[in-house]
Each structure stands twice: as structure tokens, then as C-alpha cells.
Amino acid sequence: MKWQRKDLLGLRDVSEQEIQFILETAKPMKEVLFRSVKKLPTLRGKSVVTLFFENSTRTRTSFEIAGKVLGADTSSVTVAQSSVAKGESLLDTVKTIRAMQPDVVIMRHPSSGAAEYIANILDVSVINAGDGQNEHPTQALLDMFTLKEHMGELAGKKIIIVGDILHSRVARSNAYGLLKLGAEVIFAGPPTLLPLEMKTLGVQVTYDLDSVLPGADAVMPLRLQMERQQKGLLPTLREYNRVYGLNLKRMEQTGKQTLVLHPGPMNRGVEIESDLADSALSVIEEQVTNGVAIRMALIYLFVGGSANDVD
């Protein structure tokens, strides 16, 4: 397959074939991460810019490592230390970045649609690193990569995503991607954080997590954003933890060795207990490693590589 897409804004309009191609491209990239010298000359002379208007540990760092391993020059714009803090608009910031001639721009922004907005301005590739409540496609790709490493093909696998679905770009991107790969996707959470309209994505929706756990192949609790309680969307964190919190005891209901994923950052003791997060069922740290491999694959594809010359 020849990679022809200019931008990665989300997985809603990405085909199954494109997803599989990205996941296949990430496999040799992951091998590079375990070499003693983690450096390829592949993208020497290319420039990668990350532009993050929201906090990030995993996504920004893994994009930066990914670009460096591929031999590109990476630069980060941190909003608090940039002219955005002096009132510069998104449009002027993006025009300024454009004038520096990057080869790819990776952006996280609190507004849904912000990545599409800048993609329409820039003639270089834009990768969405999370836009508001809309999509976080690279997170979903690394989740699918991790699941496939453990389960092979995902067709027919039962995958439950738990928690604050309403505000979650991770849940949306995973739903689009996992459904394209043939998985059965279930959203579970409290009614205030799980609108029934989510069914239109093609997922099942339930407020009763325990009823869907039997037979689950993977469960992914989402970070509960603490401000939800202040907004009256939750009674108490203790009540949330009682009904939706995941721990080893609750996971026994699946009746199998169910994988546990978490996009991070975790609220231990709220959506997940340490006995589970640090258990043999957890692939949370593998997700982080795989995030570097997926982001290497994406930078490589968008900056003009082909999938066959990673050596």
C-alpha cells in the first residue's frame, strides 16, 4: 500500500486497510527501540514540530523520541513558554510555525476540530495528538497495536471501555478503530457520563459494568476527570469506585485472563486499583512503549517514507 493521506485528524474516516498498514509499519519500528543504538538515518534533515496547548507526558515525549530515533530534528512549542501566553492567536501561531518550514506538525489542543482547522492552513502534514473531546487517534492506534500483540486479529474480541465516555477522545477514536477491525466494543459508565447517542457509533452501551464483564477479552478504564464531580455529574468518587472501579476481584468475573489497558494518566483508587494496575493482566507500560513505535510509524509515513526500508 502507498501512503497517500496528508493528515491524521482522527480514525473516523480512516479505512481498515490504512489502520492495518500503520500497525504493520510500527512492528519494525518497535524492534529499533530495543537495539543498543536507537538511531536511524531515515529522516535525517527532516523537521518535526510538536505544538501542545494541553499538558502531556506520554504523547508529547513519545512523539519527540519517535522523531529523534528516526533521525529527524524535533522541536517542541510549550504553550506556557510561547507567545500564546502573550495572547497570540492559534492562527498566528500556526502561521509562525509554517514559516519555519517544518515537515510535520503534531498538535494537541483543548478545542474539538482544532487539528482540522490547522490542517486546512498548513500544506505540511498535521497529526492530531488530541483535540478536545473529539479524537485521539494515535492513542487508539497504540491501543490496537498492543491488543493485537497479545490477541492476534481483533475480529470478534470483546473489548469494554469504562468510565467518562462523554468527555473522552480516547473512547471515540478507539470505537472507530476497533469496530473497523471487527471487534465488539462496549461502553460502560454512569448515565451522566455515557449518553445513549453513543450507540450511533456502532458500540453497545451499558450502565451495568458487572453484567458485561463475563467473557471480556480486554477492559480499558478511562481516567476520571476529577472536575466532573464538581460539575454534579457524579455523586462521590467512592460511589464511582464501588460501581465502576476495576480491581483484581472484579476482574474475576470475566472468567479469563483479560487484558487491562489504561491510556494514562491513572487515578489509582478511583477508576483502577493498584492491585490490578500493577498485575500480570496489565499492559499499561507496554502501551507506552508501543506509543513510541506507532508514532515512529506515523512520522515515517507522513514525512515520506515507505514501509519497507526501515533497516
Which residues here bind ligand CP, judged by CB under 6 A? 56-59, 130, 139, 263-265
> Least distance (Å) from ligand CP to the CB of residue 211?
28
> Least distance (Å) from ligand CP to the CB of residue 260?
15
Residue among 88 and 149 whose Cβ is closer to ligand CP: 149
β-sheet bridge partners, residue 125: 104
Helices (H), 72-127: 90-99, 114-119
CB 234 within 8 A of CB 167: no
Which among 120, 13, 14, 125 has a CA at the least distance from the CA of 67? 125
CB 143 within 8 A of CB 263: yes
> Least distance (Å) from ligand CP to the CB of residue 89?
24
Residue among 189 and 263 whose Cβ is closer to ligand CP: 263
> Least distance (Å) from ligand CP to the CB of residue 266?
10
> Least distance (Å) from ligand CP to the CB of residue 146?
12
DSSP H or E stretch at residue 300:
helix 284-302
Contacts of 299 (CB under 8 A, 6+ apart): 43, 48, 63, 66, 67, 70, 72, 104, 127
> Least distance (Å) from ligand CP to the CB of residue 262?
9
Q: Is 61 exposed, middle or buried (0-12, 13-18, 19+ CB in 10 A)?
A: middle
- The CA dihedral of 265, 188, 236, 234, to the nearest 10 degrees, is 100
